[in-house]
Structure 1
Amino acid sequence: MEFLPDSVREGLEQARKKAERRKSRLRLEVGDRSIRVLRSWSTGFALDREEGGNLRGLVDLFEGSKHIAQCLILTSREDGDELIYEIKRATPAADKPPVDFEQPDFKPAGYLPPT
């Protein structure tokens, strides 16, 4: 791509970024900000350098509108136009509060009084 003019190269790079953003459904929510995740893997993810900034601490990870996890993150390195973040801890999001007692495997569907 070195033989292309700078304006064409920049246009191609912007089109690539736009396609990656559209393809990914993952996003982070930090306070009132929502940031699209470009790529993800088991121990981290990549954000656009312009959008990400220097994030660290707890963030909420969403896939579409579904809350997946709360993650403790750290900026790891820069890779071109991407910031690579490392996940130190990821706590899966649950739709019910945790229970502090053991639940039996068999749960009756209802109660029938003796006849």
Structure 2
Amino acid sequence: MTGFLPKEVLDGLNAARKRDMKRRARRRVHVGENVYPILDYADEGFAVDAENAPNLRGLVDIYDGPQHLYQALIVASARDGDLMRYEYKRNTPAVHHAPVDFERTDTSPIALLTQG
């Protein structure tokens, strides 16, 4: 079907598709101070716009809006048309509290009563 369309129309359709993907993208990858929208996300990796993003690698943070989801170690996988695909070497869910260095028991008191 696309063989019958002029090149200008195909370029316009591809630009509109890319613009729509960027508009719908909620997830973002943070590399230092730079932020890039994630256009395609899967369990084994993600893809960003190949024109605007440099060749990313190393430790990155992945956010869904303002919520920190993952801290990941990534490596460039392949270029897929207008997208650059990255695979996870390590993908760790973000935690919002520090780990405890002791065992919490279920029998611990809720409150302490004092004599008074």
The verdict on a shared fold, with TM-score over 0.5 as the criterion, is yes
Superposition deviation, residue 100 in structure 1: 1.6
What's the secondary structure of 1:29's corresponding residue? strand
SS across alignment from 2:103 = coil
TM-score, structure 2 as length reference: 0.89
Question: Displacement, 1:12?
Answer: 0.8
SS at match of 1:53: coil
Tell me how far apart the structure 2 counterparts of residues 22 and 107 of structure 1 sit (CA, whole Å).
Answer: 50
The Cα of 1:113 is off from its aligned counterpart by 3.3
Secondary structure of 1:50 counterpart: coil
**Alpha-carbon separation, structure 2, partners of 1:107 and 1:16:** 57
Q: Which runs of 5+ in 2 are unaligned?
A: none
Listed as ranges, the matches of 1:41-60 within 5 Å are 41-60=42-61
SS class of match (1:88): strand
SS at match of 1:21: helix
Q: Which amino acid aligns with 1:110?
A: A
Please state if 1:14 is matched with 2:15: yes
Residue in structure 2 matched with residue 113 of structure 1 by the alignment: 114
Q: CA RMSD in A?
A: 1.6
Which piece of structure 1 moves more, 21-30 or 102-111? Answer: 102-111
Deviation at 1:104, TM superposition (A): 1.8
Give the count of matched residue pairs: 115
Q: Which amino acid in structure 1 is aligned with residue 75 of structure 2?
A: L
Determine what percentage of the aligned residue pairs are the same residue. 44
Which portions of structure 1, spanning 4 or more consecutive aligned residues, are displaced by more than 6 angstroms? none
Q: CA deviation at 1:106?
A: 4.5
The SS at the match of 2:10 is: helix
User: Structure 2 CA distance, aligned partners of 1:91 and 1:18?
Assistant: 30
- SS of structure 2 residue aligned to 1:52: coil
Correspondence list, 1:26-105, <5 A: 26-105=27-106
Give the 3 Å change call, closer, same or farther, for CA 4–108 of structure 1 in structure 2. Answer: farther
Structure 1 residue runs of 5 or longer lacking an equivalent are: none
